[in-house]
Amino acid sequence: MQTDMVWNPLAEQIEHGWDESLPKPLPNPDDLYRPTLIGAWAEDRLIGGAFVMPDSQDAQALVSLGADKAAQAFERSRCMIQGIAVIPKHRREGLGLKIKRYCDLWAAQHDACLVLSIPTNDAARHMNEKAGYDVLPPQVALCIEVTDDDNAITCCFPIDGVVPDARWAFHIVAQPKWMPLAVGQETVKGTGAHDDGGGITPEWMYRAVVS
């Protein structure tokens, strides 16, 4: 019942960017690193919620390149916030920002170092910026460099263009544990390539090695 209570406002309120192909997560009483619904409650009433998950969808890009080890580390160390919703009567109370920061904490506690989201309007963009996220310009591809058997692979993930103001936002919440990390933006807008031979020249905004 609580799962439905969190899922329903997310599905109803997120007009753009809601991926209807994703199944509703099962309850996660053991708090494992898997698709999870997070609820915010006050006096036993739901006032907001979020949907977080390992970034398994983007990891499939690495599988398609044959970089299975990198794909596993990518999925393990990247967390995707699929959506945040606040019950209408509790909006403008800073609750969305608090939920956002809790999602970051949840990711870090599960050894994910990078949290991703896709704000689709000005309000969501401002919330990401207040939470300390780097917000890319609209429709610019996010670039991430990963390593598989000592080979660096650059993957750039485009925005599909359906929502004009959609953009990537990312936040580093912990030091990398699974592999070196480089994240930034594609310098040539809109190519949206997955590259293993150096054909892309990303602008790296963050780079770190595994400590």
Query: Cβ neighbours of residue 110 under 8 Å, at least 6 residues apart?
Result: 33, 79
Query: Cβ neighbours of residue 70 under 8 Å, at least 6 residues apart?
Result: 62, 146, 147, 148, 153, 179
- For residue 45 the two structure tokens come to 């009433």
Number of neighbours of residue 193 by Cβ within 10 angstroms: 15
* Residue 207 half-sphere exposure toward CB, CA atoms < 13 A: 9
3-state secondary structure 46-114: EEEEEEEEECHHHHHHHHHCCCHHHHHHHHHHEEEEEEEEECHHHCCCCHHHHHHHHHHHHHHHCCCCE
pLDDT of residue 174: 93
pLDDT of residue 18: 65
pLDDT of residue 168: 96
pLDDT of residue 193: 45
Query: Cβ neighbours of residue 98 under 8 Å, at least 6 residues apart?
Result: 40
- The position carrying tokens 């949290």 is 115
pTM of the model: 0.89
Residues of the chain with pLDDT under 50: 190-198
